[in-house]
Each structure stands twice: as C-alpha cells, then as structure tokens.
Amino acid sequence: AQSVAQPEDQVNVAEGNPLTVKCTYSVSGNPYLFWYVQYPNRGLQFLLKYITGDNLVKGSYGFEAEFNKSQTSFHLKKPSALVSDSALYFCAVRDGADKLIFGTGTRLQVFP
Amino acid sequence: GAVVSQHPSWVICKSGTSVKIECRSLDFQATTMFWYRQFPKQSLMLMATSNEGSKATYEQGVEKDKFLINHASLTLSTLTVTSAHPEDSSFYICSASWAGGPHEQFFGPGTRLTVL
C-alpha cells in the first residue's frame, strides 16, 4: 500500500535561514508526489509536484523539493525562510485510484 | 485558474439536524471531487470520492447514510451531514480534479462544522 511519512511534527527555523521539511514515501511503481501547505482554518494550497523528469522540482513561493529514489524521500526545501512561511505542510502521494494519501503534516514555525 | 469554493465557510447547528455543504469548481469542470475530514492538528482523512453522475465511493468506515454525497453536475458536489451529532464537528474540505488535467487536486477553503 502507498504511504508517506513525515517524521517531524514541528520544524523551527530562524527567518533567513534555509529550511527543510522531510518526507519519505513507500509506493509500488513510480511515485506521484506532492507538497501542499495549509494556513489556519484554510484549505490546502498546492506547492509543487514530482511526476517524472528532473529530481529537483521548483514550486510556488520559492519552495523546491528533491526527489531521491534510492532514499525514497521527497524533502521540501527553501533557501531562505520567511515568517510568512509559518504554516502546516503536508506531503502526499497519489495512488492508483487517483486518491491522495497524506502524511501527518509538519508544522513549520519561522521565528523573526 | 483551478479555483474551488465551498459554502458555507462555517456553520453551527443543533444536534439532530442536517447540514449541507457545497463544493464548486469555479473555472473548470470537475469530473472528480473528493471530500475530506480534518480533526484539529491532524491530517486529512478521505471520506469519499465522487464522479459526476455516479454514486460516490466511500472509504472504509465512513457511513454512507450519514454523509450523503451528490455530484450532480461538473461544477457542483454537495455533502450532507444527516442527523448531526457533536462528534461530527470537524473541518470538512473538498477537492476537485478533471480527467486529463494536472495530477494535483485543487482544494476548497474548507467548512468548519460545529454541532451543539
């Protein structure tokens, strides 16, 4: 069965520092991987996806993610964090029925 | 593009009443819509998948008679929580996609349901 794991409940980083939010996956076949962000009391906003091609994927708001097949990881990164990046981040994988399977989420807190 | 709206954004109702939540795709035709439930500080739990004109497919453990889903048009799906009880209080989020479109789903802003 497809699954994703986000090992960190919360990540704290100072504004201006690089950030990484971790995600590992378990799938059969080629993975379709996604990152979404959720602000309080809001729905999810799409950040980026990996379907095929270049392992480094660039997305919205300066975020990027690196697909690593050997480590089955898809970590979300940003070179310089902003206070406004503070939110809940979800990694997801799409299964064969086009359903999204979400990780448990990681709360990112960026301190001024 | 690919905007999804939900109405209402929040609703408070008395125990035993029914509540309807609408999910609309504003600028595309959604062949598939998904309904999720999210408890505080938790991940999203898929409740059901609906394809336009077909009966919804419910996930294991989701009561079909309690959570009625209708996807009568390519731009509208509704979730009706019947005979609501306090334990149904939650954040309900819909998403949509279309056949041949991008692989990601597009999410609505969510509906906060509080049952007194």
Sign (positive or negative) of CA dihedral A24, A27, A30, A34: negative
Q: Are strands B76-81 and B67-73 parallel, antiparallel or unpaired?
A: antiparallel
pLDDT tens, position by position, B40-74: 878 899 999 998 888 899 999 999 999 999 998 99
- Is the pLDDT at B80 greater than 80? The verdict is yes
- How much of chain B exceeds pLDDT 90, in percent? 78
Q: Is beta strand B111-115 parallel, antiparallel or unpaired with respect to B90-97?
A: antiparallel
Provide the mean pLDDT of chain B: 93
Q: Does A32 touch chain B (CB under 8 A)?
A: yes
Is the Cβ–Cβ distance between B6 and B21 less than 8 Å? yes
Task: Measure in Å the smallest separation between the Cα of B108 and chain A Cα atoms.
Answer: 6
Flag the least confident range among A19-23, A70-74, B42-46: B42-46
pLDDT at position A55: 93
Cβ separation A32–B49 shorter than 8 A? no
Residue B10: strand pairing partners: B112
pLDDT at B90: 95
Nearest to A83 by CA among A47, A108, A46, A62: A108
